[in-house]
Structure 1
């Protein structure tokens, strides 16, 4: 079934490999990076190495010795952040291959920690590779008919495709436990698993809320610096999104704290023990969960180079999501679980302040209708389609 779901990134990564020597594909564990890489490898001469396997790590202890013999092939290296010393050798390999006439499609590097990996590779591979982030399944990948299941279970392939809601929840609970007890310690971080679980769960309860570090620190019995470190870690692992406030000078007093979302709705629900659609619809987090689910899908659909933020003034003018497109145009998007195609006056005040190009309400109806003040109300799938068409 997973093979039947065509990932949006498949063609993007293939096109990038056809244009550049290498691609770095980022994404949390179990999101489908290896499957996508293997699909690409099947279409060309390639080898696959996994840095979690001792034998493969040994092969690359003297990387030039091995990689020189693979010249002309696509070399896929999984969990590459586990061998930080490799990046310098890869730079030399790319340069040697260019001189030998192999200018594109040489390396596909897969990694599970964005900032760590970017810092390791930025200087060594600058100008030689492009970076792409693979998200969990998005609505346009699985189809509008699967919206409720995708929202409830989230987009990690094994969770979304599970035989039942119970099996899906069990997978996500195991995923969370594995991250806390094995994966995070593997980065050399000494954070008690139970403390980090409580922190992650507190974020789930506050899904989409403004970051209140003092409140989180008090609840955990730790310092504000510890809260900042925990949040940085979950953001780096691409499990949490820190959505920044709009910061350009508008002459208004704006909120300065970021909003925080657990990026996969299924993980939000697992942390809160929500198993079924009925339980979700009756839970206080339902509004924040829906907002986060829509925002992740919209950001994933936006063109490369889009900057995402939110707008909130001290006077109450607010926009859930502002997308600054590569050309500079601003889209103002409000997300509501409602069937009424209306937004607050504060939305239009904020949109006027920013001189936005588009005003969109993502709401719970299936038809697209015009609203007041240039607003267009539409289902999530239609908003995704509009962004994909850019």
Structure 2
């Protein structure tokens, strides 16, 4: 199957952004399909890439003049600038141009990090730039289904009705694990296992050598590479900075700088801790998630056979949680409401993901099993009935590897993992 023909859920947002913003800024990791998205969607416009050293040098020498000349050559549509983050002078030149010209959709930028990193430039361009984050493909995209509207369903009324959910695809445990270890990078996910793992490992090396080294201006990348390996072993767990520093032999400030860079490159997501404001016993350390479980599996030399009966169950648990988090993260722009994601732990109780919008909270627990039972909901029930969610609209959900949508009481449900790719594109 030609992956370039698979529809991306951001396409309608990109079309809308071109009519409402002077600059559309698409950021995300390398090789997730940013260039394919803009080239397939935009049949007009002019395309340049700053990966070409001559083009980059010309823009750095005279950014405003080059932009004016390129716009003059662009008969219709936007000027598309690929790998925009490579220029240190582009942002100010764009600001000057869009200050003079109020037309919408003048520029589309793509890059692995945000070109508008200066607070001054970002503030002065408020309302003129629409920034979108593009991530590896969701399973829904690979199966040509619509975005997962689970949060919309859970918050639509006082008591969500399982009958309002689409029929989830029936998959076996092995089929679920195959999807988790394959990952979502368009050119890599369909490769045979050995080549896929090699490509993901090479991908991480290239990001460290190109993107990270370019941002930090460092020559030795061994410590950053060791850090990524260490993070891969900790997905789904809380971040312990001191332990991480010790394992990679780095000072704390350097470690935190590296973590910030990986976050800016959209490779790392630190899921913040949710606090009620009522208890000092809430845990405040973030959890770690990497952008793609295919990368995690490759760095840890894991394949589908790694999770056979008798294998370490905690290894699958962290990977499963990371996978669900990523699918939910990708679904956020497509919900009717704005949601923020957190995790929560207090005195031996924990909830893997809390989605919060206004006062509504949706709690998600993960169970890497084909069955679910009442005890799997104990933390969700406590949070709602005795904990900080007792005076707020709350829905508790366990995501598991089974086949059926199940109700375990008022606003307490078990949903199959496949529910994330069972919504029609409507």
Q: Would you say same fold, with TM above 0.5?
A: yes
Shift of 1:385: 5.9
Q: Which residue of 2 aligns with 1:219?
A: 247
Is 1:298 aligned with 2:313?
Answer: no
Shift of 1:377: 0.6
Distance 1:87 1:328, change over 3 A: farther
What is the CA deviation profile of residues 32-86 of structure 1, one whole-angstrom value per residue up to 9, with x for unaligned ones? 11110111222xx200111111232245333343144137531111111111311
Most deviating of 316-325 and 131-140 = 316-325
Structure 1 length as normaliser, TM-score?
Answer: 0.89
Whether the aligned pair in 2 keeps the contact of 1:337 and 1:364 (CA below 8 Å) is: yes
Residue pairs, 1:30-179, within 5 angstroms: 30-42=31-43, 45-60=44-59, 61=62, 62-69=65-72, 70=74, 72-98=76-102, 103-114=103-114, 117=117, 119=119, 121-143=121-143, 147-162=176-191, 164-179=192-207
**Match for residue 346 of structure 1?**
379
Question: Mapping of 1:339-378 within 5 angstroms?
Answer: 339-342=371-374, 343-352=376-385, 353-354=388-389, 355-378=392-415
Name the CA distance, whole Å, in 1 between partners of 2:58 and 2:123: 24
Q: Which has the higher contact order (CA 8 A, sep 6+)?
A: 2
> Do the aligned partners of 1:2 and 1:161 also contact (CA within 8 Å) in 2?
no
Whether the aligned pair in 2 keeps the contact of 1:68 and 1:93 (CA below 8 Å) is no
Checking the alignment, whether the CA contact within 8 Å between 1:241 and 1:263 is kept in structure 2 is yes
Match of 1:19 in 2: 20
Compute the RMSD of aligned alpha carbons: 2.5
2:304 to 237, 261, 277: 277
- Inter-partner Cα distance in structure 1 for 2:267 and 2:320: 17
For 1:331, which of 362, 367, 371 is the aligned residue?
362
Q: Do the aligned partners of residues 139 and 173 (structure 1) sit closer, same or farther apart at CA in structure 2, a change above 3 Å counting?
A: same
Aligned length: 379
Alpha-carbon deviation of 1:188?
3.3
More helix by share: 1
Distance 1:300 1:387, change over 3 A: farther
Map of 2:419 onto structure 1: 382
- 1:344 deviates by 4.1
Residue 341 to residue 387, structure 1, CA distance change in 2 (3 Å): farther
Deviation at 1:19, TM superposition (A): 2.2
Segments of structure 1 that go 5 or more residues without pairing to the other structure are none
How far did 1:317 drift? 2.3
Call closer, same or farther: CA 1:280–1:121 in 2, change over 3 Å. farther
Counterparts of 2:115 and 2:338, CA distance in 1: 17
Mapped contact 1:41–1:47 kept (Cα < 8 A): no
Q: TM-score, normalised by structure 2?
A: 0.82
User: Would the aligned equivalents of 2:236 and 2:288 in 1 still touch at CA under 8 Å?
Assistant: yes
Q: State the shift of 1:111 in Å.
A: 1.8
